[in-house]
Structure 1
Amino acid sequence: MGTNRAGRSRGGAILVAALTVDSVGNGLFLPLSLVYFLRLTDVPLALLGVLLSAATVLTLPVPLWAGALADRVGALPVVVAAQLLQAAGYLAYAWVRSPVGVFAAAALVAVGVRFFWSAVFTAVADYADGSPGGWTRDTWYAISNGARTAGLAVGGLTTGVVVADGRAGTYRAVAYVAAACFALAAVLIAACVRIPPAAVRPADKGRGGYATLVRDRPFLALIGLNTVFALSSMMLGLALPTVMLTDLRGPAWLTSGILAGNAFLVALLSAPVGTRLPRHRRTRTIALAAALWTAWGIAMAALGPGRLGVVAALLVTATLLFTVAELVHAPASAALAAAAAPVAARGRYLAAFQYSFVIASMVAPAFFGTLYEVDTAAPWLALALLNAVGVAGILRLERVLPPNALRAPTPADRPSAVGASAAAD
């Protein structure tokens, strides 16, 4: 899909830095969602679970609104507003005590998170279209993914210190720091990042709205297939602690080491991998990720208790398959979705694409827990089968997606004259 922009995007380094700071804020609270309120309020655990789940359910329609807003006013203002919502929510975290307060604060954060994820991929694609360098969307998505992973890791490590400290004042300090992270990210983007408006091609005019999306069967199929891949990407962090405790019977530090190693490699390798991805068809790159997740699922199913050195070596080898799959899937899938969307409705298309992750996050705990009760190998074998089907599905889908969405544009396709528009797929 071609996109012409009058002028150039500015502030790419600031955008990546802001996304990193944003992720530090997220990383601070990912492990604390329940523990924080248990420590600082008298709300029972069962009620806390209901309140936090209800706050998340409340956000289900948000991508529909976020996508329409991104198309109407631009994705960048939506991202900034989402970060400010999260900052307000975390400020409230430091003061709430009652169930109503907990729900209100959690809902603010959850709505902000959903708005952010529904608009940030459109913002990165818009920036890439006007980028003065030769980087494609694939590269920008890869670098953004690495930056977010690094931020999450830093936030998560900091939280480990907080949990060890255990004092109420320290927990509240984390809420303030998280709020400051989101506020700083919003200020950086609003003040320093500029994206020129897109000039919609005549062929794309009138191709806006969710009615167009509902009739776009190839894109709906892409959302469906990506739900499988999103489920796969969530399974390592979700399942490994349980598997280590009940099946492999290994030490807790091995789980932490595996997850930290995965995050470190994604943060370190996203940029170099991202610069090489544009050489290949996006659909073939996604198929490679699905094949690697298939092999990873089979390897996890074959693991069992044994000598610590052997278990650790096999688990590290299996996790490397997962890590490579994650490295290539994240940028290729986002770039393919952005390129397959008509420019006039890109915000709505990419917001709808986020439902693959929403559905996967809702399904993942039940998928793993139910199958794991049947047999410890069952969830891994089921995941391997789903990904094997995904390989065939994405290769078949390749035939009906827009041909110019399958590859990133070559440097020759991107006008280099100063003031010329930067072309996208």
Structure 2
Amino acid sequence: MGADVAERGRGGAVLVAALTVDSVGNGLFLPLSLVYFLRLTDVPLSLLGVLLSAATVLTLPVPLWAGALADRVGALPVVVAAQLLQAAGYLAYAWVRGPVGVFVAAALVAVGVRFFWSTVFTAVADYADSSPGAWTRDTWYAVSNGARTAGLAAGGLVTGVVVADGRAGTYRAVAYAAAACFALAAVLIAACVRTPAATDRPVALRRGGYATLARDRPFLALTGLNTVFALSSMMLGLALPTVMLTDVRGPAWLTSTVLAGNAFLVALLSASVGTRLPRHRRTRAIAAAAVLWAAWGLAMATVGPGRLATVAVLLAAATLLFTAAELVHAPASAALAAAAAPVAARGRYLAAFQYSFAVASLVAPAFFATLYEAHDAAPWLALALLNAAGAAGVLALERHLPPAALREPSRAAPARADADAPTR
């Protein structure tokens, strides 16, 4: 896994910092979504929904292009370009007035987001392979996940305070701040982070394109199974506000507290969990996360009206199960996908892997709403069943994946006392 000394990566700490800044930008705007355009334009809500959905659908082919670019020119330049696209989109947000402007600005952001998520995991893997410290891919993915979660929470908290006055100028200030975050993240990565060049890989290994991936049935199965886990990871933020409003009928602050507590624990514990994951097979870790999500689903199926203290304790206990699953699944699944991919085609493989999240994001609202309308417990019981099946599926798939992808031994730390520092 290690790189030659001449090919050592540098700037690991800056990479993590840049991903945090990037997530602050996302967090700043995430709570606004439709509200921003409702406040600053005359476009009706129904048309806004169509325009934003159309902008998202436009991005569905992006991972195919992004993966090929990452293999050809390297993932870092694509990540930087994606962040600059998002910066341009948020700058445009501050000036849009009509439907065309809304669509163009939203499309810029959506395309940038899709390029980013299609290549950032390859960028982290490229750095992890060439980093001088003892951290494995699992640890780097865990730390990156914690940093992104912390950034999202910080950005969302700032926006919640700033937009309370509801003034148009304040909304535009948030758009400018988000644009600045993405631009700063791009500059940090471009100036300070280095990984081995993609052109250093043998040309023969860079051929084959997606045809080779399409014949890799174990990897396609892994991607399909991950759709279940991606769906589960989205369900807390998507469903909890509705459950609290229509079923529990509890105070809004309880929802905010649960979501904030989840984000805080992920940010706090990601590094610690990431340093322990390499001791275990990644498939077993993912299966354990699925079992935890199944238990969370069963716990959520019991939530209903009752004494506030009882409901709060039940929600807190259930959310701890969700958080534990998230802490384990995020780095283990990304590291397994990266390790199962041929190094020279890793960009294409990890971009294709992101379709599991894209499909989950499209399915999640309809999945929850349709089942919840049938019965309050139905979506949670369905999630529990899906995760139980997913855990069994991952364990069955284990023997078909490359043995070297299942577990990555911790690196031996270099002799120098500062060798474990994440940057050099």
TM-score over 0.5 (shorter chain): yes
1:108 corresponding residue in structure 2: 108
Answer with 320-329 or 154-163: which moved more: 154-163
2:151 corresponding residue in structure 1: 151
Give the deviation of 1:416 after TM superposition: 8.1
Q: Distance in 2 between matches of 1:342 and 1:286?
A: 21
Q: Distance in 2 between matches of 1:39 and 1:295?
A: 41
Question: Alpha carbons of 1:215 and 1:415: their partners in 2 closer, same or farther (altered >3 Å)?
Answer: farther
Q: Distance in 2 between matches of 1:330 and 1:242?
A: 25
Q: Distance in 1 between matches of 2:192 and 2:279?
A: 31
Q: Aligned runs of 1:346-361 on 2, under 5 Å?
A: 346-361=346-361
Q: Distance in 1 between matches of 2:313 and 2:223?
A: 35
Give the deviation of 1:297 after TM superposition: 0.2
1:423 corresponding residue in structure 2: none
1:338 corresponding residue in structure 2: 338
2:249 corresponding residue in structure 1: 249
Q: Distance in 2 between matches of 1:168 and 1:186?
A: 28
1:36 corresponding residue in structure 2: 36
Q: Distance in 2 between matches of 1:317 and 1:139?
A: 26
2:419 corresponding residue in structure 1: none
1:131 corresponding residue in structure 2: 131
What's the Cα RMSD here? Answer: 1.5
1:311 corresponding residue in structure 2: 311
Q: Aligned runs of 1:58-73 on 2, under 5 Å?
A: 58-73=58-73
2:19 corresponding residue in structure 1: 19
Give the deviation of 1:205 after TM superposition: 2.4
**SS of the residue aligned with 2:30?**
helix
With normalisation by structure 2, the TM-score equals 0.95
In structure 1, runs of 5+ residues without a counterpart are 418-425
The question of whether the paired residues in 2 share the 8 Å contact of 1:19 and 1:144 is answered with: yes
Q: Distance in 1 between matches of 2:207 and 2:215?
A: 11
The question of whether the paired residues in 1 share the 8 Å contact of 2:94 and 2:175 is answered with: yes
Q: Distance in 2 between matches of 1:386 and 1:208?
A: 34
Give the deviation of 1:310 after TM superposition: 0.3
Q: Distance in 1 between matches of 2:108 and 2:411?
A: 43
Deviations, residues 208-262 of structure 1 (Å, cap 9, x unaligned): 4100000000000000000000000000000000000111111000000000000
Q: Distance in 2 between matches of 1:217 and 1:374?
A: 36
Q: Distance in 1 between matches of 2:26 and 2:206?
A: 38
**SS of the residue aligned with 2:407?**
coil
Q: Distance in 1 between matches of 2:154 and 2:244?
A: 23
The question of whether the paired residues in 1 share the 8 Å contact of 2:68 and 2:348 is answered with: yes
The question of whether the paired residues in 2 share the 8 Å contact of 1:70 and 1:348 is answered with: yes
Give the deviation of 1:33 after TM superposition: 1.0
Q: Distance in 2 between matches of 1:62 and 1:289?
A: 29
Q: Distance in 2 between matches of 1:39 and 1:318?
A: 36
2:175 corresponding residue in structure 1: 175
1:239 corresponding residue in structure 2: 239
2:212 corresponding residue in structure 1: 212
The question of whether the paired residues in 2 share the 8 Å contact of 1:207 and 1:342 is answered with: no
- For 1:342, the aligned partner's letter is P
- For 1:212, the aligned partner's letter is T
**SS of the residue aligned with 1:9?**
coil
Q: Aligned runs of 1:268-347 on 2, under 5 Å?
A: 268-347=268-347
- For 1:196, the aligned partner's letter is P
2:421 corresponding residue in structure 1: none
Give the deviation of 1:344 after TM superposition: 1.2
- For 1:45, the aligned partner's letter is L
Count residues in correspondence. 414
- For 1:311, the aligned partner's letter is V
The question of whether the paired residues in 2 share the 8 Å contact of 1:3 and 1:200 is answered with: no
Give the deviation of 1:207 after TM superposition: 5.9
Deviations, residues 304-355 of structure 1 (Å, cap 9, x unaligned): 1100000000100000000000000000000000000001110000000000
Give the deviation of 1:4 after TM superposition: 4.0
The question of whether the paired residues in 1 share the 8 Å contact of 2:86 and 2:113 is answered with: yes
**SS of the residue aligned with 1:31?**
coil
The question of whether the paired residues in 2 share the 8 Å contact of 1:282 and 1:332 is answered with: yes
- For 2:205, the aligned partner's letter is K
Q: Distance in 2 between matches of 1:178 and 1:212?
A: 39
2:363 is the counterpart of 1:363: yes
The question of whether the paired residues in 2 share the 8 Å contact of 1:7 and 1:196 is answered with: yes
The question of whether the paired residues in 2 share the 8 Å contact of 1:3 and 1:343 is answered with: no
The question of whether the paired residues in 2 share the 8 Å contact of 1:232 and 1:293 is answered with: yes
- For 1:109, the aligned partner's letter is V
Q: Distance in 2 between matches of 1:12 and 1:174?
A: 28
- For 2:366, the aligned partner's letter is A
Q: Distance in 2 between matches of 1:247 and 1:234?
A: 20
**SS of the residue aligned with 2:399?**
coil
2:47 is the counterpart of 1:47: yes
In structure 2, runs of 5+ residues without a counterpart are 417-424
- For 1:177, the aligned partner's letter is A
